[in-house]
Structure 1
Amino acid sequence: MPIKSLDAFATERRLFKPQALSALNGSILGIDADHYLSVISALAATYPQVVTGGSSLPPKVRDVLVRDLATLKAHKITPYFVFRGLPAASANPHLFKQYDLQNAEMRSQRRQAAWNQYEASSEAEHATLAAFHDAGLNPVTNSAAVFRSLTALLAEHQVEYSVAPYYAWAQLAYLLSTEHIDAVLGPSELLLAPHVDKILVTMDDKNASVLSKKALLQELGGLTHELFVEVALAAGCDLTGNYTFPPFEHPINVIGQPTTPIRSAADSLAQYPSVYTAVATYGADQGVFATRFRRAFAALKFCPVLHADGHVGPLPNTGDVPNDSHDFLGQRLPDELIYYQNAGLIGPDLLSVIVSGFAAEEAGLDGDADIEYRTLVKKLPETYSKCLNLITQALHRYYHYKKYNIVYFWQPETENALNSQFQPALYVGLNWKADKLEGLSSKPVNDITVSSVLDLVSNSSADWKKATLTPNHTVLLSTNTQILANTLLRLLQLEGYIDSKTHALTKWGEVLQTFGNEPAALPLLSLLRNGLLDNKPLTPQSVTAFPPSASPLLLKVAAFVNSTSGTYRGRFSRQALAMSSIAATQTRATRWLLESTLFSLLSFAADKGRDASVYELGRALPFATLPSSITGNVVDQLLRGASLEEVAKVCYHGDSAAKIVSEQVAQFKAVWQSLFAAVERAHKLDLVSADVHKQFADGNDVCKNKL
C-alpha cells in the first residue's frame, strides 16, 4: 500500500511525470506485485467481470496483466515480479497476541447483503459491483488472495518472480541498489530507501508515470531524506499497517481547512524538531504512540531482505540487527525457509501460520450461505496439524512446543488448538527415498505428476519396492526430478493412497490411478472421502434456499475446473461461488500439505544447493492454481436449461463466444468422466456405498442429456 495521502498530494502538485517506455529498452523492471495488482484492479473495477468471487484472477484483471506483459516484451523490457512475504509485527501489533476476525465477520455480513442486492437486480449495475467490492468479493487488491493463480500465470508466460522475506518493496530496493534490476514499479514506500531516487507508479502501452523523490521532498518543504521517513511513518504506510499517528489523523491546516496527513506531518516540523517529537508528546497515551512509532522506524531500518549470497539480513551498511527484533519484525524463521519461500517452494500464507501461531478461516464467497463450507473448514485442523509437524520438526525446538490455533469466522473469539506434535514425528514414517525412478529418471521435472508416480509404483517390481523401504538407504536426493517424485510419493503415503509398509497402492490409490492425469484429482477425492461430494443440494445457512439444480453434483465438480479462456461477462450464481470456495479451500489445503512434505524431505533426505534449479523446482510444483468460479457459472446456466448458444451470447462477446463455451464444457466433461470412472472403481472396491454410486450415475445421465 502507498504512503497514506501521498499519491493525492503528488497528484495535486503535478509531481507524476510521464516517461516513455522506450527509455527503458533493454532494462530489467522490478515490479511490486501488490502495488501492480491494486493499480490494474482499480482500472478494471468498473467492469462486471472483475467480480469473479473466486480465488483465481478475475478475467478482466488477467486480460490487463497479459496485455501489459506483451507491452513490456514489445519494448524489450524484462519484468521481474516480487511478492509480499511474511507479515511484520510493526504493522500489526496484535499479530502474536490475538487474531482479530472482526473485519472478516463484517465482510461476511456485507457479502450476504451484496448477494441479496445482486440477486434482486436484473443487471449487474455499478452500485452492485461496488457492494461486491466492499464485501471482499473482488480479492485482487492484494497478492495474497490470488498468489497461486498469479504465480502460475507468470510461469506460463515465462516471467520470473520471487517472494520477499517481508515487504516486496524492500526487496526491490535491495535489488536496485545492487543493480540486479534497472528500475522499479511500485508503491511510494520505495522512496523510504535512501538510494531510490525515482519510481514508476503506473504504466500504459506507451508511457509510465514517474515520481521523483527530489521533487517530492522539495514540495514538502525541502525535507531531508531522514525527515521524510518520519513524515511517511506518521502519515501511515505499510510499516504501520496504514495507521496514521495522532495528531495527524484528522488534520486541519492553519486556516482551519482539512488537509492531508502527509502535508500535516510535514508542516509540524515548523513547531517540533522532528515528527517523532510531535507524536511522542501528543495526548495522554503518548507512550503508546511513541513505542509504535519506534517499532515502525526500526522495522524500516532493519527490514530483512534476501541477499545475493542467500543470507537474510537488512540492507547493506545498516548495522547489526538488535536482539529484540522480534518486537518489531516478529519471530524470525531460519534463512533456509526464507530462501525456499523466495523460490516458491513454500508459500508465505503457510509460513505466516507458523510465525503468528494462528490459522484464520474466513467466510466463503457466498457470504456464509451454506453449511457444507463450515463442515469442510472444521476438517482442516487435521491437515494443518500435519503441515505444522512436518515443518517444525526441522526447526528450533521452540517451534515444536509452540501453541498453534485455528480461528473460525463464526467464532472469532474462540481459539481451537492445532496438534503439531506427533509421536513419532510424521517424517519418521515417510520412508520414501527412491533415487532410482525407473522410467521417470530421464524425464524433466515438469513431467512429474501424481499420475506418473502412481504408475511408477503400480508397474514397479517387488524388489524395487523393497529397495525403497530399506532403512539404511543413505543416498541423498539431488535432482529436481528425484525430489519432486519422492515428495509426491510421501504425500500420497501420508494421505493413504500408498501403503507405508509395502509401498504398494492401497485401494484408494487404485481409485486415484483410475482418475488419470487430472490436476484436480487429489482435491476431488479428498472431498469424496470426507462425504462432501454428492448429488445433494447445498444446505442453506443464511438463505431460505438455493435455486434448484438438475444436478448439484455436476455443479460441485465444475467448481474444480479452472477456465481462463475469454473474458466472462455473464451473471454469477451464489451456489456456484459457494462451491468455488469449497474447491479453493480444499486445493489450498492440498498444496500446503505438499509444501510441508517437500520441506521435510529437503531437510532430512536431500542435498539441494541454492542455485537456479531451486526456482525451477518451485515452478514445477502441482496444485499451483486455485480454481475459479467461471466454469461453475457456465455449467449452472446450462443445467437450468439454457442452450449453449444462449449462454455464449450472454457470457461472452465476439465471434469466438460459442467456441469458448464449447471448450469450457469439453474441459468439464473430461474431468467429470475421469471422476466418474474413479467412482466406478471405488464402488467395485467397496469404498463408496451403493447410494453414493447411484448419485454419480444419476449425475452422469444428466451430464449426457444436458451438457
Structure 2
Amino acid sequence: MPAPGPPRTVTPLSIGGSIRNFDAWSSNRLQTLPISVLKDAVVGIDAGNYLKKIIDGPGTKEPLVPALGGFPFSLRNKIEDDLSQWHQAGIKPLFVFSGIQFLRTDKASSTSEVAAKNRSVAWQLYDIGHATQAVEAFGDSGSLQPVEVYRFLRQILVENNVEFQVAPYAAWAQLVYLERHPKQFIDAIFGPAEVFFYDVDKVITGFSFARSSFSCLNKKAIMQDLGGLNHEQFIDACILSGFDFCPTLPILEKQNSSLFKTCLDFLKTCRSATGIVNQYSESPAIKDSGYLDKYRRARLAIKHQPILTDEGYIEPMSIDDAPGDMHEFMGNRLPEEVYFYLSRGVIGSSVLDMIVSGELHELPPLDAGENESYRVFLEGLQTVRAQSLALLSQPLQHWWNSRKISVIYWYDKPNPRVVTYKDLSAGLYESTSSWNVKESVFATALAAHPGNSLLGFAITGLTDKDLAAKTYTTKSNENLLKTTNEVVLNVFWRTLRLREFIDKDHLLTPWGKVLSTALGTLDHNDELEEACYLGIELLKAKMLRADPNTLNQYSGRDADRRYCSLISRVASLGKLRHNSIGYTGPLSRTLLTYNSIIRLMSKNLENLMQMVLTSLLMNGDADRNDRVDWKQIGLAIPFVEDINAGLGIAVKTYLDELTNTEDPTSYETRLKIQKEQLIPQMFVQSVDVMADVGKAFRLWDAIMSGIKAAPEGLIQDAPKFAEADAWLKARRPVS
C-alpha cells in the first residue's frame, strides 16, 4: 500500500448517482460524522459512482481529457491515495462493479450526441485561439464513462490487495444484498442515490480526509421531508425524475433546478406515477412516448434486480414473488457460469450486453465522429464482433446462436446494421481447439524470451519451428490447462489464429512474420509490445496511413505533411509519461480522431480475447476447480488502460517545429529544439518528453522492420512508409 499523500476530500460530498436533480434536493440533508466511526468497518463501494466522482468532481476533474483521449493523468494517484487514506483510517473497502447493462433507453445516445456537439464548439474556440474558453468548453463537454475505467481500477485494486466483485447487473443492488445479508458482509455502503430504492438506513456520500470526517445521507431524514409520501412513492419520484434505466417524465424534461421536488408535488396530488401519466395522457409529449411501459419496466427491474448470492447463485432481490417473465425487463438470462466469470473480473460485460439486449449503440467518439475514415472503419468491424458473439454463444444453448444483433449508429439511426453469427459458432471454436499447450512445452523458451512478455512470446516463439510443431495439441481431460501462463498463452495463440497471424498448422502466416519481426525488434525495457501489436493490426486493416483530408493541420510541404502525419499516427500508439496533474500543451484534432480509431480497434480486440477465454473455459479446456488466479487471468488480457494522443502530439510538435526552420535536418537545429527547452516548455508537465519521443521512434523502427519483412504486395503502402522512414532519419533527436 503506497504512503498517503496530503489529506484531501476524496470525492464530492453529494451522493451522486443518475437520478436527476436528487443531488441538489438532498444536499442540505447531509450529515457529517467523524471518520473514526468507521474504524474496523468494511465499506462497500459502488465502483462506478466512485469513479464518476473522481472523473467529474470539482477539484479532481481534468478538463482536457475530452481533447486528448485516454484517462486523466492523475487518476492512478488519486485512487491509490484514497486506498492509503482508508487503510490509515482502519477502513476496509470492498469495491462492487456493475455488470450487464439492462433496460437500454435513448439516454446514453442523446447525452453523447449533445457532448459531441459541445466538443465541436470547443474545437472551434481552440482553432481561433480562444484557449481559455476552449479549455472550459472541453471540460463541460463530458467524455469518459466509468465503465471505460473498470479494468484499470481493478488492476490497481489487485496491486493493492483490495477486494472487489462484479455484480450481475447493478452494483447498488448487490451492495444492498451484502449489507442486509445475515452475515453482514459489509458494514456500510458508499454509493449512489439508487441505493435508497431499498430498505437502507444510511448511505455514505463522500470522505473528507483533511477533516477526518465523512458525509452520509439518512433515509429517515429523506422520508421526513417527503410531505407524507411513502417509500413506494419515493421510488416513483426517482423514476419520474429520470435515471439510468428510465427517462424523465416527458412533460418535465426541460426542468432542472426543481425537478425532483416537482415530481414529489405531482405525487402528492396524483398519488402514483401511473396516475400522473394517465392524467397527462393526452399531452403530445406523453401520448406517443410509451413512457408508462418504460416506467413499469424500470419499477420491476428495481424490485426484482438480480444479485449474486454468497452461494454463487443469481437470484432476484425479491425471489419469493419474482415473475416468470423477468426476461421482458431484464433481458434473457445467461448461464450461471458466465456470471461467475463476470463476477471475478475474468471478462467484461461488453459482449454480454450485446447478446442479452440484442443491440449495440455506437456513440460518437471524442472528435464528434465527423471523419469519414472513422465511420468506414467502424462499419468494417462487423466480422470481429460476429466472431466474439459466436465464441460466446457456441457453448450456450442453441437458442443463443440464432440471435441477431442490431448495431445502431448515431449518424444513421433509422438504418441499423444486423450482425449474425450463427454460421460461425461451431467452426470458430473448432479452428482454435488444437491449442492446449502445457507449460512443459513452452517454459524453457519463455524463460529465454526478453522480458517474459506473454503477448510477445506468443508470436515470436513460433519462429522456432520445433516449438511450433509441439504446440499442436489436443485436449486431455486428465491434464487440462492449469497454470495462469498456460491459460493466458493459449488464449493469445487462439486469438492470433483467428486474427490470421497463425495458420491451421501453427505456423506464422505472412502477416504473422510481419508481426513477429516487428516484436522481435523491440527493446523489452520500452514495454511497447501492446502498442506494436496494435500497430500491425491497424496496418493489416489499412488504417495505419496518412489521412489526406487532414494534412493542412501539419507544417511544411505536402511531402513533409504526409510523412509527419504517418509518423505521428504510429507514435500515437505509445504512451506519454506525464506528472499526476491535468494536461497543458498543444492539441491536435486529427490525432484525437486517430486516437478514437486506436481505441475502437483495441476495445474490439480486447472483447475478442475475452470471448476466446470464455470459450476456452466453458468448453472445459482448462481446470476450473479451486482456481485462485481468476483476477490475474482477467487482467492479463491486453489494453487495460486507454492511451491518449499525447505522444503522437509530442512527435507531431517536434517534427513540425523542425519543419518550420530553415535547416530542419542540421545538428544545430535539432539540438536547439530538443535541448534549449523548446519542446519541453510546450509539454511542461511531461516526465521527459524527448525521451518519450525517442521511444516513439523506436516503435516506428519496429513497425518498419516488420514492413520490410513483408512479401511484395502484402502491404500496399510499404513504399510510403519507406519514404517517410528516409525523411525521418535526418530528423532524429540528437543523442
TM-score of the pair, normalised by structure 2: 0.83
- 1:639 maps to which of 655, 658, 668: 655
CA spacing shift, 1:29–1:473, aligned 2, 3 Å: closer
SS of equivalent residue, structure 1 residue 428 = helix
Match of 1:21 among 35, 59, 74: 35
- Kept after mapping to 1: 8 A contact 2:554/2:564: no
How many Å apart are 1:426 and its aligned residue? 0.6
Give the equivalent residue in structure 2 for 1:628. 644
Residue in 1 that maps onto 2:3 = none
Q: Which residue of 2 aligns with 1:381?
A: 382
The sequence identity of aligned pairs, in percent, is 26
Matches within 5 A, 1:345-364: 345-364=346-365
Residue 547 (str. 1) matches residue 579 (str. 2): no
Which one of 214, 222, 234 corresponds to residue 208 of structure 1? 214
2:537 aligned with 1:526: yes
CA shift at 1:375, angstroms? Answer: 3.2
Contact 2:392/2:611, CA 8 A, preserved across alignment: yes
Are residue 192 (structure 1) and residue 203 (structure 2) matched? no
What is the aligned partner in structure 2 of residue 565 from structure 1? 578
1:218 aligns with 2:224: yes
Cα–Cα, structure 1 residues 556 and 421, in superposed 2: closer, same or farther, change >3 Å? same
Deviation at 1:278, TM superposition (A): 3.9
Aligned equivalent of 2:726: 698
Specify the alignment match of 1:324 in structure 2.
Answer: 325
Counterpart residue number, 2:490: 486
Pick from 175, 178, 194: which aligns with 2:178? 175
Aligned equivalent of 2:631, options 609, 615, 637: 615
Q: State the secondary structure of the residue aligned to 2:376.
A: helix
Whether the 8 Å CA contact 2:62–2:72 is kept in 1: the answer is: no
Contact 1:68–1:204 under 8 Å retained in 2: no
**2:589 is aligned with 1:574:** yes
CA positional deviation for 1:347 = 1.7
Gaps of 5+ in 2: 1-16, 556-560, 659-672
Does the 8 Å CA contact 2:606/2:639 hold for their aligned counterparts?
yes
Consecutive unaligned residues of structure 1, counting only runs of 5 or more, are 252-257
Instruction: Please list the CA deviations of residues 320-370 of structure 1 after superposition, one character each: whole Å capped at 9, or x if unmatched.
Output: 431211222122222222222222222222222212223333333223353
Q: CA–CA distance in 2 between the matches of 1:375 and 1:292?
A: 34
* Shift in alpha-carbon separation, 1:235–1:472, aligned structure 2, 3 A: closer
Q: CA deviation at 1:469?
A: 4.3
Q: Pick from 546, 550, 569: which aligns with 1:556?
A: 569
The yes-or-no answer on 1:118 pairing with 2:126 is yes
Q: Distance in 2 between matches of 1:686 and 1:294?
A: 56
Alignment length, in residue pairs?
A: 673
- Distance change in 2, residues 1:696/1:389 (3 Å): farther
State the secondary structure of the residue aligned to 2:657: coil
Deviations along 1:250-270, one digit per CA (max 9) or x if unpaired, are 78xxxxxx9834334434554
CA contact (8 A) 1:87 1:166 kept: yes
Provide closer, same or farther for how the CA distance between residues 607 and 275 of structure 1 changes in structure 2, counting only shifts above 3 A. same
Offset of residue 232 of structure 1: 2.5
Q: 1:9 aligns with which of 18, 25, 46?
A: 25
Look up the SS of the partner of 2:506 in the other structure: coil
Q: Which residue of 2 aligns with 1:293?
A: 295
Which moves more between the two structures, 269-278 or 72-81? 269-278
1:294-443 equivalent positions in 2, closer than 5 A: 294-315=296-317, 318-422=319-423, 425-438=427-440, 440=442
Deviation of the 1:150 alpha carbon: 4.0
Distance in 2 between the 1:278 and 1:49 partners? 40
Alpha carbons of structure 1 residues 40 and 327: separation in structure 2 relative to 1, 3 Å: same
Post-superposition offset of 1:561? 1.2
Cα contact 1:165–1:305 (8 A) shared by 2: yes
Contact 2:63-2:138 at 8 Å conserved across structures: no
- Say which SS state the counterpart of residue 340 (structure 1) adopts: helix
Structure 1 residues 638 and 153 mapped into 2: Cα distance closer, same or farther (>3 Å)? farther
1:23-62 superposed matches below 5 A: 23-44=37-58, 49-62=63-76
Larger CA deviation: 519-528 vs 470-479: 470-479
Across the aligned residues of Structure 1 and Structure 2, the Cα RMSD in angstroms comes to: 3.3
CA 1:474 to 1:403, structure 2 compared with 1: closer, same or farther past 3 Å? Answer: farther
Give the secondary structure class of the aligned counterpart of 2:629. helix
Q: Which residue is 1:498 aligned to?
A: 502
Give 1:586's aligned residue.
601
CA contact (8 A) 1:555 1:632 kept: yes
1:295: Cα distance to partner?
A: 2.0
- Secondary structure of 2:320's partner? coil
1:486-521 alpha-carbon deviations (Å, 9 max, x no partner): 111111111112221x21222322332223361122
Aligned to 1:454: 459
The answer to whether the Cα contact below 8 Å between 1:393 and 1:425 also exists between their aligned partners in 2 is: no
**Farther-moved stretch of structure 1 (46-55 vs 637-646):** 46-55
Q: State the Cα distance separating 1:477 from its structure 2 match.
A: 2.5
Distance apart, 1:15 and its partner CA:
1.3
Cα distance in 2 between the residues matched to 1:341 and 1:159: 18
Aligned to 1:671: 699
Supply the distance in 2 between the matched residues of 1:361 and 1:274 (Cα, whole angstroms): 35
Task: Describe the superposition over 1:42-73 as per-residue Cα deviations: whole angstroms up to 9, x where unpaired.
Answer: 33579665434455212244543343233223
Cα distance change on mapping 1:55 and 1:529 into 2, 3 Å: same
Is the contact made by 2:54 and 2:61 (CA closer than 8 Å) also made in structure 1? Answer: no
- The Cα of 1:412 is off from its aligned counterpart by 2.5
* Contact 1:676-1:696 within 8 A present in 2 as well: no
Equivalent residue, structure 2, for 1:233: 239
Alpha-carbon separation, structure 1, partners of 2:482 and 2:61: 48
Work out whether residues 435 and 471 of structure 2, in 8 Å CA contact, stay in contact via their aligned partners in 1.
no
TM superposition shift of 1:706: 7.8
Between the aligned partners of 2:623 and 2:321, the Cα distance in structure 1 is 31
Quick check: 504-513 or 387-396, which moved more?
Answer: 504-513
Letter in 1 for 2:651: V
Q: Contact 1:57–1:149 at 8 Å: present in 2 too?
A: no
- What are the Cα deviations for residues 391-424 of structure 1, in whole angstroms up to 9, with x where unaligned? 1112222221121233334323222222313355
User: Does structure 2 conserve the Cα–Cα contact (< 8 Å) formed by 1:559 and 1:628?
Assistant: yes
Instruction: After superposition, give the CA deviation of every residue in 1:295-320 in whole Å (9 maximum; x if it has no partner).
Output: 222111111112222221123x5424
Q: 2:489, 2:89 → 1: CA distance? A: 39
Task: Tell me the amino acid that sits aligned with residue 57 of structure 2.
Answer: L
Residue aligned with 1:624, SS: coil
1:269 to 1:450, Cα distance in 2 relative to 1, 3 A: closer
Contact 1:55 / 1:584 at 8 angstroms: preserved in 2? no
Letter of the structure 2 residue corresponding to residue 217 of structure 1? M
- 1:255 counterpart residue number: none
Residue 511 (structure 2) aligns with: 508
**TM-score between both structures, scaled by the size of structure 1:** 0.86
Whole-angstrom CA distance in 1 between matches of 2:376 and 2:265: 55
1:118 shift after superposition: 1.7
Alpha-carbon shift at residue 281 of structure 1 (Å): 4.4
Alpha-carbon shift at residue 245 of structure 1 (Å): 6.7
* Partner-residue secondary structure (3-state), 1:641: helix
